[in-house]
Structure 1
Amino acid sequence: MNKRRIIWIELLRICACIGVIGIHVASQHFHDMPVNTSVWAVSNFYHGINRYAVACFVMISGGLYLDRKRTWNIKKLWTHSILPIAVAYIFWQVFYALYRSLTDEGLKFGTVAFFKRFLVMISDPYFHLWYLPMLIGLLIITPMLWEIVNSKNGKQWEEYMILLYLIFKILPYTVKVFPIPCKEHVMNVLNTVQPQMVTGFVGYYIAGHYLYQYGVSKKLEKLIYILGIVSISMGILFCYIRSQQKGTDIQDFYENYTLAAFFWGISVFLFFKNYVSKIKWNDKQEKRICFVGSCTFGIFLIHVLVRSLLHKAGIDSMMISNTFIAIPIVIALIFTLSFGAVVIIKKIPVLKKWIV
């Protein structure tokens, strides 16, 4: 039995990784297909139901890094936790900048235009790599958060901070996307206080620790499940309706800071904690789960490259006429190939420590 890793956490980590891939597969033709087509409607559906992924990733980190059993050493935090993430970010940022520059048919390698384009791409996080600087920001303030949530009144402080996060971050972002009367004035009132806590994800980070440490009552748990399912369903529906009205793709109703993503993410986290955790696994199964879980960071980093290469080979969410079936197939294929690539990289001494 693996004593250092918690199996339901590893399974949730794997599920969240699949969810991120699901978002990116669903988005392949989300912006270039007419919104009145079935392909777009299916993409919108998969785009929405996988929105638990980022919230769950952050909540997992919060649950583990803010655990009261941890002791924090600033030097160790920077050298063992932050530095590897920073190195991985720099490596993959440069890698993807070079890859995109080399595959741009309008650029010739070695020219001034190529070099300028390469530098521009390095300066701006590639579309999935934003998560790493955000996580670094959370880790930087983790020792301070740890002292707060593990103090004598830690539980009350967490409830207070989660409530503030819901009021000042989640609610204004959700209200912003609805066409309400006097919207500008309402938003001005809601944004009177704007506590931008590092990255905007600190509420999920603290919520993860709170749910991991204390959980919720059965009554509240049922309510959260209802809110999660209803809110994400309504988010998908509202995106579809608004997109038909505007004639362009809209995903505002289920993005990371909406009530839909908030309650949907918490619902998935609670389900794994309270139900998936009760599944019994033998030692061999636990070992395999933990190994796959340990590869999810690398899979997250490399899956965009795999997606791009498959797309160039004609394998994407529109490879067959039935997009509803095509998307899960492509998700599974990208996950499997990315996992295989990470397993190979993990056999290379230096690379396994710093880039996956």
Structure 2
Amino acid sequence: MNKRRIIWIELLRIFACIGVIGIHAASQHFRDVPVNTSVWAVTNFYHGINRFAVACFVMISGCLYLDRKRTWNLKKLWMRNILPITVAYVFWQVFYALYRSLVNESLKFGSVAFFKRFLVMISDPYFHLWYLPMLIGLLIITPMLWEIVNSKNGKQWEEYMILLYLLFKLFPYTVKAFPIPCREHVMNLLNTVQPQMVTGFVGYYITGHYLYQYGVSKKLEKLIYILGILSIGAAILLCYIRAQQTGTDVQKFYENYTIAAFLWGSSVFLFFKNHVSKIKWNEKQEKRICFVGSCTFGIFLIHVLVRSLLHKAGIDSMMISNTFIAIPIVIVLIFMLSFGAVVLIKKIPVLKKWIV
């Protein structure tokens, strides 16, 4: 497979990375401010519009790893693809467990309580690190998926699997968010068949390859854009309305397994593939874009630490009275500082290969 990086994919990777930071910057006070305030309304807005990020990351992986030009060797798969992600996951899981234990003032370093707390934190993925085990699971089944999607009837098989994903995963998850009559019984019926296929993200994985390999008609593309914007807008509004009714924070209408997140993520992916891809860049610009793109994995891993340190310094989504302006400022700061940290780590021979 040609190792030359595809510029629109690198730009989408960077944009999705910023989106993940946007979710986490907006979520800083998502649960500790009254839902009837303008601050919560703004955080809900930013929380929602950045929900394309995870979907696009998985779609990027699908379009690249399932590319018919790629050939899979199981030893190469495990040693070159799965092992580095596993090592990075273990390192950062231990790092964040140690960091959270150290900043906990009620725990004395070296005490039995400190050690127990440390072990408990290691046992469960930190809130953003769940993505790595999920990606490892997708990589494990990638050779089998590759054989299916690149077979003689691969296009039809992909359409079939995407349809199954919509019917058995996204549709039931979305319906669950609404207070329909006899909801428990309806959900039991909808969940009669649960084709998880290792993880709930395999549908995004296959959709990424499908949109990359085959694309869609102009009419369908426009429809996806319209539905993507309308659905994420409706989801943000529904979260706000439900929050006012219940008095607690709500995000279930735009979570990763909702139809809104699927349509919004698909529309962003298609926009980059069909329109951003037409932008012409000179060789120097392409080199810079590819370098930043190559740093996004490390930025994703380290940005939570940067967010925490900025928060301790008084820099977060509520550092000024205007939250609508504060959140973008925090996003930019987290991204730039995380990028700087990754650039420095990449200068260290062993660490650059295994942890970023």
TM-score, length-scaled by structure 1: 0.99
Q: Which residue of 1 aligns with 2:93?
A: 93
Q: Which residue of 2 is the match for residue 326 of structure 1?
A: 326
- Cα distance in 2 for partners of 1:281, 1:302 equals 29
1:29-108 correspondence to structure 2 within 5 Å = 29-108=29-108
Structure 1 runs, 4 residues or longer, greater than 6 Å off: none
The aligned counterpart of 1:135 is 135
Q: Which residue of 2 aligns with 1:243?
A: 243
Aligned to 1:200: 200
Q: 1:115 aligns to what SS in structure 2?
A: helix
Provide, for residues 15-67 of structure 1, a one-character-per-residue CA deviation record: whole Å limited to 9, x for no partner.
00000000000000000000001110000000000000000000000000000
- The one-letter code matched in structure 1 to 2:286 is E
Q: Distance in 2 between matches of 1:138 and 1:144?
A: 10
Q: CA deviation at 1:3?
A: 6.3
Paired with 1:133 and 1:305, the residues of 2 have a C-alpha distance of: 20
Supply the distance in 1 between the matched residues of 2:56 and 2:253 (Cα, whole angstroms): 18
- CA RMSD of superposed structures (Å): 0.7
Structure 2: which 5+ residue stretches go unaligned? none
Q: Distance in 2 between matches of 1:123 and 1:73?
A: 31
Matches within 5 A, 1:71-220: 71-220=71-220
**Aligned AA (1:238):** L
Q: Which residue number in structure 1 is paired with residue 272 of structure 2?
A: 272
Measured against aligned partners, the alpha-carbon deviations of 1:203-227 in whole angstroms (never above 9, x if no partner) come to 0000000000000000110110111
> How far did residue 182 of structure 1 move?
1.6
Aligned position for 1:25:
25
CA distance in 2, matches of 1:112, 1:43: 39
- CA distance in 1 between partners of 2:41 and 2:198 (Å): 35
- Partner secondary structure for residue 200 of structure 1: coil
| One-letter identity of the residue aligned with 2:229 | I
1:175-225 per-position Cα deviation (integer Å, ceiling 9, x unaligned): 000011121121111111111111100000000000000000001101101
User: What SS does the aligned partner of 1:125 have?
Assistant: coil
Residues in 1 aligned to 2:278 and 2:4: alpha-carbon distance in whole angstroms: 18
Please give the alpha-carbon distance, in whole angstroms, between the structure 2 residues aligned to 1:217 and 1:196.
Answer: 29
**Distance (whole Å) between structure 2 residues aligned to residue 302 and residue 335 of structure 1:** 10
Alignment-derived partner of residue 295 in structure 2 = 295
Q: State the SS of the aligned residue for 1:126.
A: coil
Corresponding letter in the other structure for 2:323: T
> SS where residue 254 of structure 1 aligns?
coil
The residue that corresponds to 2:312 in the other structure is 312
Deviations 1:59-115 (A, max 9, x none): 000000000000000000000000000000000000000000000011000000000
Counterpart of 1:112 in structure 2: which amino acid?
V
Counterpart residue type for residue 84 of structure 1: P
- 3-state SS, counterpart of residue 228 of structure 1: helix
Compute the TM-score of the two structures, normalised by the length of structure 2.
0.99
Q: Percent identity?
A: 88
Give the deviation of 1:253 after TM superposition: 0.2
The amino acid across from 1:165 in the alignment is Y
Task: Give the Cα–Cα distance (whole angstroms) in 2 for the partners of residues 185 and 229 of structure 1.
Answer: 31
Q: Do residues 231 (structure 1) and 231 (structure 2) align?
A: yes
* Separation (CA, whole Å) in 2 of partners of 1:39 and 1:273: 35
